[in-house]
């Protein structure tokens, strides 16, 4: 159904379903892949959006709607779309001290850990990459449960044997020294990350 965005709270948007009947779209029901912190990131007052009713609480007279429910979850078959060793392309959407986020097709975001940027030691990610830059990388980790894809730019031209060795080494990354592991990097990015746009090869 088509609903009109009326106003927002920190956690969601109120929409008019029909005259005198409002519903709420929680930020977590706006996108499968984007971490949306404020409804204003995707909506403005007066916008009309397609949404699906996902819950009706008659007792409290509340109707919950979702935008993402109209589309399939791209993470559902992620292990069919991306396999370790796949060569992909995407655009850099965010730089952080621990690496860079690259957006692939279906709005899936992969993380290139700082240790996976170059064979040479990299002190600062911004010395190697910039936002908007298109890069080629290999998939070295796919975590369906945690919705994480690990990428390696330095492994783009690796042989199968070299890639296997890099993937195994990547699995052992833990916090410490001057780097953080993939899991910690994704956790650190949860609060601040804003995706951009890109595609996969």
Output the CA torsion sign for 151, 191, 14, 6.
negative
Whether 169 and 101 share a structural domain: yes
CATH number, position 38: 2.40.50.140
Question: Residue 67 and residue 147: Cα distance in Å, rounded?
Answer: 19
Token digits of residue 98: 């621990």
Domain edge (last residue) among 30, 53, 70: 70
Q: Indicate whether 200 pLDDT > 70.
A: no
Question: Residue 66 and residue 18: Cα distance in Å, rounded?
Answer: 16
Beta-carbon contacts of 43 under 8 Å, excluding residues fewer than 6 positions away, are 5, 8, 13, 49
In the chain, the number of structural domains is: 2
Q: Indicate whether 184 pLDDT > 60.
A: no
Domain region containing 176? 78-189
- Per-residue pLDDT reduced to its tens digit, 102-139: 999 878 889 999 889 988 888 899 989 999 999 999 99
Whether 36 and 104 share a structural domain: no
Report yes or no on 134 lying in a domain. yes
Residue percentage of the chain with pLDDT more than 90: 24
């Amino acid at each position: 159904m088509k609903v009109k965005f009326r106003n927002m709270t920190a956690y969601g948007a109120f929409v008019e379903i029909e005259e005198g009947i409002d519903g709420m779209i929680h930020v977590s029901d706006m996108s499968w892949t984007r971490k949306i912190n404020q409804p204003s990131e995707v909506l403005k007052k007066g916008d009309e959006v397609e949404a699906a009713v996902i819950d009706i609480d008659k007792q409290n007279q509340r109707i919950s709607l979702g935008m993402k429910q109209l589309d399939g979850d791209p993470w559902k078959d992620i292990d069919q779309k991306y396999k370790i060793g796949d060569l992909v392309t995407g655009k850099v959407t965010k730089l952080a001290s621990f690496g860079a986020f690259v957006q692939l097709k279906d709005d899936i975001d992969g993380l290139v850990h700082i240790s996976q940027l170059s064979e040479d030691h990299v002190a600062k990610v911004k010395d190697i990459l910039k936002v908007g830059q298109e890069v080629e990388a290999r998939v070295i980790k796919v975590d369906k449960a945690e919705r994480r894809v690990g990428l390696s730019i330095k492994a783009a031209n690796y042989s199968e044997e070299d890639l296997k060795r890099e993937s195994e080494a990547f699995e052992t990354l833990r916090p410490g020294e001057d780097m953080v592991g993939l899991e910690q990097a994704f956790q650190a990015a949860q609060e601040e990350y804003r995706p951009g746009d890109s595609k996969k090869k």
